[in-house]
Amino acid sequence: MNAIEVRHLHKSFEGFSLHDISFSVPEGTIMGFIGENGAGKSTTIKCILNLLKKDYGEILLFGKDIVEHEISIKNDIGVVFDDLYVPETLNATQLDKIMKKVFKTWDSDYYFERLAQFKVPAYKKVKTLSRGMRMKLSIALALAHHPKLLLLDEPTSGLDPIVRDEILDLLLAYMEDETHSILLSSHMTSDLEKIADYITFIHDGEIVWSESKDVLLYEYGIFNGTQEEVNELPEQAIIRKRAGAFGIDVLVQKHAVNPVFALKKPTIEDIMIFFVKGEVSR
Ligand SMILES: Nc1ncnc2c1ncn2[C@@H]1O[C@H](COP(=O)(O)OP(=O)(O)OP(=O)(O)O)[C@@H](O)[C@H]1O
C-alpha cells in the first residue's frame, strides 16, 4: 500500500502553479522531497495535509481521500514544519497537557523520554529555546501520538551537523516499525542520501523525477572530457550536459557507456543541478 498517493495535483496562485503533480510514498519508506527555493515543496505538502485547498487532482493517504476522511486520517499523521508554531509563552510540560486532550493515543511517557534524550528542558518557555531545541521539541510533539506517517517540511534547516544527525537518527529509529512512512522535504541533499529510500525532485511546480535513491546514485555517472571525447559517448547514454570548470561534464546512464570511459559517482545534488542547468543535447 502507498502511505501517500498524489495524482494529477494542480494548485495555482498568482504567478505560480503546481502542475500535474503525481508521486507516491510506499508504506515503510522514506521519500526525500527536493527542489529549489519556491519550487513548490511546501505548497505540495500543505495540499497533502488539506491545509491548502487544491484546484483539482486526488490525494490519498493510506488509500483514503484526505478531503473526505480528514479527521480520521490526521490521527495517524505527525507534522513538522520549518519552525515550532505553538504559543511562545508555553513550555514543553504545558504542551503535553494540551496534546493529551487533542490525541487519544498521546503517549506522555514517550514524549518526556524524547525530551530527556534530546536534552530539551521541560519547564523553559518555548520563546527562550534555541532553534535546535525548538525543532527537537517539534519532532517530539509530532511523534508522541505514534503516527503512521510523518510529513516534515525542512525540519533540519539552519541546524548544526550534530543536531541534524540526532534528528536523522530519531527518524531512522521511527522507521524501525515497518508500517511507518516519511515524506521529508529538505535542501540538505546529503541528509537525504543518508536516510531516504526514494527522492522526488520538483522544479518550477512540476515533478522532474521521482525515483529510488539507489537507481539515481548507482545507475548514473558523470563523465568529464573535451567536446571530442563527449562526441564518442553513445547518444542514448547522455542525460544532460553542462560546461564544467575543466571541460564538459556529462551525466550519463552508466550501463550504456563503455567502461573505458572513467566515470565519477554523482551525488543527488549533482543530478539535481544537471537537470536544472544542463542541456539535453550533446
Ligand atoms: N498562500 C500563497 N499565496 C500566493 N502565493 C503563494 C502562497 N504560498 C506559496 N506561494 C508561492 O508559491 C511558490 C512556491 O512556494 P513554496 O513555499 O511551495 O516553495 P518551496 O519549494 O517550499 O520553497 P522553499 O524551499 O523556499 O521553502 C512561491 O512562488 C510562493 O511565493
Cβ neighbors of 214 (< 8 A, separation 6 or more) are none
Q: Give the C-alpha separation, 19 to 119, whole Å.
A: 43
Whether 282 has a pLDDT exceeding 80, the answer reads no
- pLDDT tens digits for range 248-279: 999 999 999 988 889 999 999 999 999 999 88
- When the pLDDT of each residue in the chain is averaged and rounded to a whole number, the result is 93
Nine-digit cell string for 60:
490519498
Atom of ligand 1 nearest to the CA of 43: 18
ipTM of predicted complex: 0.96
Give the residue from 83, 185, 77 showing the smallest Cα distance to 131.
Answer: 83
Atom of ligand 1 nearest to the CA of 40: 18
Report the DSSP pairing between strands 2-13 and 56-61: antiparallel
The sign of the CA dihedral 111, 112, 117, 122 is positive
Residue 41 Cα to ligand 1 midpoint, Å, equals 8
- pLDDT tens digits for range 142-188: 999 999 999 999 988 878 888 889 889 999 999 999 999 999 999 98
Nearest CA to ligand 1 atom 27: 37
CB pairs under 8 A, 24+ apart, for 267-273? Answer: 267/189, 267/190, 267/193, 267/217, 268/32, 268/34, 268/189, 268/190, 268/192, 268/193, 268/199, 268/213, 268/216, 268/217, 269/189, 269/190, 270/222, 271/216, 271/220, 272/34, 272/189, 272/201, 273/242
Nine-digit cell string for 254:
552508466
Neighbouring C-beta atoms of residue 129, cutoff 10 Å: 19
Give the residue from 166, 152, 220, 221 showing the smallest Cα distance to 194.
Answer: 166
Cβ neighbors of 8 (< 8 A, separation 6 or more) are 20, 21, 22, 56, 57, 58
- pLDDT tens digits for range 104-119: 999 999 999 999 998 9
Ligand 1 lining (C-beta closer than 6 Å): 13, 16, 35, 37-43
Three-state DSSP at 36 gives coil
Q: What is the pLDDT of residue 160?
A: 86
In the chain, where are the structural domains located? 2-210, 216-277
- 272, 251 contact by CB (below 8 A): no
Q: Give the C-alpha separation, 268 to 282, whole Å.
A: 22
Region 191-216 average pLDDT: 95
Q: Give the C-alpha separation, 16 to 55, whole Å.
A: 13
Give the residue from 138, 160, 140 showing the smallest Cα distance to 80.
Answer: 138
The pair phi, psi for residue 118, each rounded to 5°, is -90, 0
Atom of ligand 1 nearest to the CA of 205: 14
Which of 9, 11, 12, 13 for a ligand 1 pocket mutation test, highest count of atoms within 8 Å of Cβ? 13
Whether 82 has a pLDDT exceeding 90, the answer reads no
Nearest CA to ligand 1 atom 2: 13
Partner residues linked to 31 by β-bridges:
183, 198
For 2-210, CATH gives: 3.40.50.300
